[in-house]
Amino acid sequence: MAWALEHPARYEASNLIPAPDDVEDESVSMAAIGVIADVLTAYRLEGDDAVDAIRAFRSALHGFVSYETAGAFAMSADIDRSFDRLVDGFVIALTRRADTKPRATRRSDEDVRQS
């Protein structure tokens, strides 16, 4: 979050969809999404479930960062505490879901590419 505040233009650029013919940009984007996907394997997600979780995680982070960089969090509550609670809530939701599923294998690159 601090990086996005210090480099707002870079942060916005990191959220752009790579052009179909830009192999290098797509590779960098896929590597970033791959890191998220690798972390989520601990929650036994695969296929559409993994894609859903990647999208939800990216959306939650982007929404929070977008509001903060726009100065929309004017209430007195600590912003870092709110962010930690957002992440904690996401982890709790994934943990509950993982507790009800059998152990899964890693998602395919095609599944990640579609997120």
What's the N-to-C CA distance of the chain in angstroms? 21
pLDDT at residue 41, rounded to an integer:
86
Say if residue 62's pLDDT is above 50. Answer: yes
Give the DSSP letter string of 35-60: HHHHHHGGGT--HHHHHHHHHHHHHH
Mean pLDDT of all residues belonging to the chain: 84
- Rounded CA gap, 93 and 39, in Å? 15
CATH topology of domain 2-113: Tetracycline Repressor; domain 2 (1.10.357)
